[in-house]
Structure 1
Amino acid sequence: MIFALVPCMIALASADLAVDASPLMDKLNQALSSKLGDINAKLAAGMKTKDPMMVNVEKGPLHVDKISDLSSLRVESFKVTGFHMPNLAMALSGAWSGDLNVNGFVDALGKKVPVDAALHGVSFKSDEIDMNLKRNPLEIQGFNVKSLEVSIQSITCQVHFAMPALANIVSKLADKKINESKGKIAEKLSEKMKEVLGNTLNEKIKGALNGKLHEMMR
């Protein structure tokens, strides 16, 4: 069995010699693939506990207070991409299946005008996740999510203003400022998701993955 070769592979890797680690990576990726549904369920549950998420982003007269509907995200790919014992490099990508809703207000004409916005095409990715692996027995020790990037395709917004003659002016102002804030909003989402992903992998998923690995080794 391939796992009988693991101690030898690790010893060679630690000696900085060339090693073909692809069979082990294949086994780990099979385990990850089998648990992708569980990862998505636990990650969605973790994000739901942060919903709505307070962001407090300001851009001129625009104030973005919170983002909601965070639990519709789905990891589409999660795999081992490199082998540098005791750490394995990993990559993850996915997206939210629906729009994320944003609430805030814009200061206009001496009033705080409510603003509702929608974030469209929100996706996420990371190629800087480490899995720490122990041998004898083969076991995942933990995950380190070093960075995660969120991208927002577009933003649309709607203002609630009682004066129709001025509503279009205020709407254009809010739309301009919220699109100028897109990078900062994405950064806030990245920070929160990085935290939740790390907690989910280490506290909710690590044990299940180790169970699957032990099952595959029998």
Structure 2
Amino acid sequence: MKWQQLPLGSIQTNCYIVENPDRSCLIFDPGGDAKKLINLIHTRGIKPLAILLTHAHFDHIGAVDEIREMYKIPVYVHKQEEKWLGDPALNGSQFFPLIEPLKVKPADHIINEEGLMKIADFEMRVYHTPGHSPGSLSFYFENEGVVISGDALFQGSIGRTDLPGGNQTQLLKSIHDKLLTLPEDTYVLSGHGDVTTITNEMDSNPFLNGF
């Protein structure tokens, strides 16, 4: 399995494309710049199977409808943010003056619980990691040693908790109970910034020291 980080949209949110040897792929958090993403998919000759959202803030969902319609693929989101896609107050787009209020069509599949998830030949474990937002999810590919953490955990930082539904205590608990229990050499593919590892964050992340 291969993965590629692609910063998209007005605040360069990391979209991830996870690809199998058969050239099929999953798209995580297409936050904007749909044409850029489509061009990459076309150039690589890969076939998208689904869009998965770590959460439904505007900067993670900006290109969802265009990509979904282009490739006729389903969208997955956690049940606690099912209504956020079409509500600018919930997805945060109405609070940013330079962003037009964003309304995305309803998701095709609602994730109700944690556990093993399969899409075609892709297999991942879904963790509910709330705190940055109520329905934040992390997707762990055990065989590849990779977790897509959305805005829960960053290199040297954690997600903001001042938006609707944010809770720092809950976020720290999610990180401690779900992410820091993964193998220490696991790569953390965050929603913003550089790739890091669990061990790096355990050793040097100031927000996690003493928790």
Decide: shared fold, TM above 0.5.
Answer: no
**Greater Rg by CA:** 1
TM-score bracket for the superposition, by shorter chain length: under 0.3
Give the number of the structure whose residues are more often helix, by fraction.
1
Q: TM-score, normalised by structure 2?
A: 0.21
Q: TM-score, normalised by structure 1?
A: 0.21
Query: Which has the higher relative contact order, 1 or 2, with Cα contacts under 8 A spaced 6 or more apart?
Result: 1
